[in-house]
Chains A and B, each alone.
Chain A
Amino acid sequence: MTQQQEQWGTKLGVILAVAGSAVGLGNFLRFPGQAAANGGGAFLIPYFAALLLLGIPIGWAEWAMGRYGGKKGLHSAPGIMGLIGKGSGARYLGVIGVLIPLGVSFYYVFIEAWTFGYFLKYLTGGIGVDTAAPIADQAAAASSFYTTFTGSEQDGVLFTGDSKLTILSWIIVFALNIFFVFRGLSKGIEKFCSYAMPAMAVLAVIVLIRVLTLGTPDPTLPDQNVVNGLGYMWNPDYSRLGNFQTWLAAAGQIFFSLSVGFGVIINYSSYMKRNDDVALSGLTASATNELFEVGFGGMITLTAAFVFLGVSGTTAAVATGSFGLGFSTLPVVFAHMGGAGNLIGAAWFFMLFLAAITSSLSMYQPAVALVKESLGWNHGKATGSIALLGTVGAILTLWFTQGGAFWSTVDFWVGTFLIFVMAGVQIIYFSWVFGIDRGWKEIHAGASIRIPPVFKFIMKYVAPTYLIVVFVGFCIQNLGASITAAWASTGSRVAIIVIVATLLLLLMVVRAGEARWKREGIDLNDTQPAD
């Protein structure tokens, strides 16, 4: 490569950046709902099984593949997968590893703007939930604010001038993302994450302490206390372990939470030095994600909802999904916290904002890397082109808001379905084409820990099988309805067109890159191993 190589500044920096990418809204909003709906404490058995058999092993493979690509001067998923898979087939499949983060960024920054907008509202007095009103009216007020703020009533409503805060929040958040990506890996993303991750942990501890000290806020309802709130989340229902749906939900949660198969880890680790540790780094990033998910998400969200809303209210909140829980239910809870409610609400939404921005920052870098190394553009020009593409995607997201059809379609096909595909492609190419013996050696080059040898077997046989079973189960459960939904509205149809157009554009960039790499004499099919 003729361009000067970017690198991480410190080992801790790359760990925090990858952990920042993994820790997102799902840790605080999706995990507790999934656990409560699938056996409570019993859910943690299939959850930790999936962590050990699926999440961590595939993560290690991705870390090792990325660093291997970096040794050869390649940083994009297509370039790296071409090396690992030794040919054009793997290289073009690697496009999925750029499409996923870029496609998800189109709508993720919009959702990130909600967290920022809510944070601003809580700094300036809250969202107007009147605790003197009946609880149903309070929930309706919070829900109405959410619907208006997110523009989910109809397409184009955010551009009518009545949703200035939503648009302003999006502009600020998008500009911050582009600013840090433009600053580069070490000075931008790494530096931001090195402050944001500890800040997020401090905010999580503050909110957790407040929730755990709520006691029994209403003496007339003695059952609605913190201990019973924890019980709502943690009391195990072991009968659910016999249900395939529980295992599917657990594997899905681990999968999406750790960001394996997302295309970010493979890109981030390609900027490591050739003998930097990947074994301990991968494990530490996963452990950090688990702390935020189980240690904070599992303790805060439903406990807070339970002490004010009771069993029926919390169950209804869980049924509304992650966003309903986070943006409609918790505002009612904060309103009941008295004078400190707005401060706790501000801390909560700023924590969610940090969780979201450390994730969204990672979504642009894979595409920036692809454009730089395929077209030979400098960092500024590559970032500018991706920012332009991101703006087009975001404007479509902001316009087609009705029922969230646009972004939920992109979320399903790009942010869910393709992640399974990409993770499968990665672990199969790594274990079976690159070779597990060579891969094992690659993981341990410069490693600070020795991974138990049983993981070699897990990576070659268990993880791919586990993944295929979960993927088939996922398809049986979701594919039919999702194909129908993809054509059900203008927003969803536009989303499909956007996904296909972005895919074609990225394939053209890879094709240009392939020609360029050949001209430059790069060993793009790994005929001369670098290990």
Chain B
Amino acid sequence: MTAGGWVTMILSLTFVWGGVIWCFRKVLQSPQDEKAPPGYGP
């Protein structure tokens, strides 16, 4: 594997792992809804 290969792989993995971790942290920090009240759904 070339140096360029290592660089693109590490940058890409950092981007996707960083992105998903940042997003899920934000989602979990935001107020969660209560469950849908009984009677909803089929």
Contact = CB atoms under 8 A, between A and B. Distances in A.
B30 A231 contact: no
Interface residues of B, number: 30
A284 B16 CA distance: 11
A287 B16 contact: yes
Nearest to B39: A4
A183 B8 CA distance: 44
A237 B15 CA distance: 20
A2 interface: no
A455 B9 CA distance: 27
Interface in A379-399: 379-380
A7 B36 contact: yes
B8 A12 contact: no
A115 to B, nearest CB: 24
Given A235-B5, A236-B4, A291-B20, A6 B42 contact: yes
A273 B42 contact: no
Interface string B4-41: 11111100110111011011101110101101100111
Contacts of A378: 42
Given A10-B33, A41-B9, A234-B8, A4 B40 contact: yes
Q: A-side binding surface: helix, strand, loop or mixed?
A: helix
A41 B4 contact: yes
Contacts of A15: 27
Contacts of A6: 40-42
Given A234-B5, A234-B9, A235-B5, A291 B17 contact: yes
B5 A380 contact: no
A182 B41 CA distance: 10
Contacts of B22: 287
Contacts, number: 114
Given A276-B33, A379-B42, A44 B26 contact: no
Contact of A294 (B6, B16, B42): B16
How many A residues touch the partner, as a band? 35 or more
A12 B27 contact: yes
A186 B32 CA distance: 16
A448 interface: yes
B36 A448 contact: no
B21 to A, nearest CB: 9
25 contacts: A6-B40, A11-B33, A12-B28, A41-B9, A227-B1, A230-B5, A234-B1, A234-B6, A235-B1, A235-B5, A236-B2, A236-B5, A277-B30, A280-B23, A287-B16, A291-B17, A291-B19, A291-B20, A294-B13, A294-B15, A295-B13, A295-B16, A298-B9, A379-B42, A448-B30
Interface of B: 1-2, 4-9, 12-13, 15-17, 19-20, 22-24, 26-28, 30, 32-33, 35-36, 39-42
Closest 3 CB pairs of A and B: A41-B8, A231-B1, A379-B42
Interface of A: 4-12, 15, 40-42, 44, 48, 182-187, 227-228, 230-231, 234-236, 273, 276-277, 280-281, 283-284, 287-288, 290-291, 293-295, 298-299, 378-380, 448-449
Given A11-B32, A287-B19, 14 more contacts: A5-B40, A6-B41, A7-B41, A12-B27, A48-B12, A234-B9, A236-B5, A283-B23, A290-B19, A291-B17, A291-B20, A293-B16, A448-B27, A449-B26
